[in-house]
Structure 1
Amino acid sequence: MSAVNSKTKFDEGRLMQVLVAPIVSEKATMIADKTNAVTFKVLQDATKFEIKAAVQLMFKVDVQSVAVLNIKGKTKRFGKSVGRRDNIRKAYVTLKPGQELNLGGESA
């Protein structure tokens, strides 16, 4: 994965848009503690290579692996009207040992 990524150049403007938001939840915190992985909400068409490059560019950390999953939006009703929530694409970014990513903004 890293051999392909090191040769491929991505548009820096695109990489700044790939990561939509960090996901901070109880599950994401447990995964971060156990496996040194950080969870992000990403664009629907983002690839693993783009996500890896974006995290390395924005946070200056070394990424070991990226796992991506798609979550289908739920159908919701409000009275007679039926709506649907947006689909979400999540990325679990595992950092190399010794690397740390602080999303809270406070210093260590």
Structure 2
Amino acid sequence: MTDCIFCKIVRGDIPANKVYEDDEVLAFKDIRPAAPVHILLIPKRHIESMLNTSREDEALLGKMLALTPVIAREHGLGAGYKTAINTGLAGGQEVFHLHLHILGTPQP
């Protein structure tokens, strides 16, 4: 998908403050943070939303969930954090590329 903003970030066409990257996923700081720590974790492959996933995506989705606490701890959220996946227009999704929000306030 050539006009997707997150696909452009994956390709390097748009800069992002990356905090994690491997062959399948990318995590970066949200440019409009809703919390002191607000990171988006996305698959590099374009998937429009959770509505467009299937059983074939289980490993990728599991990887994203398993990475969430690792990324959260690295950003001071070891005491806890909130996750959100807005799905579809009715679910509040604004960018139609699957993304998981990691939100929280670092605790001393």
Which structure has more relative contact order (CA 8 Å, sep 6+)? It is 2
TM-score range, shorter chain: 0.3 to 0.5
The structure having more radius of gyration, on CA atoms, is 1
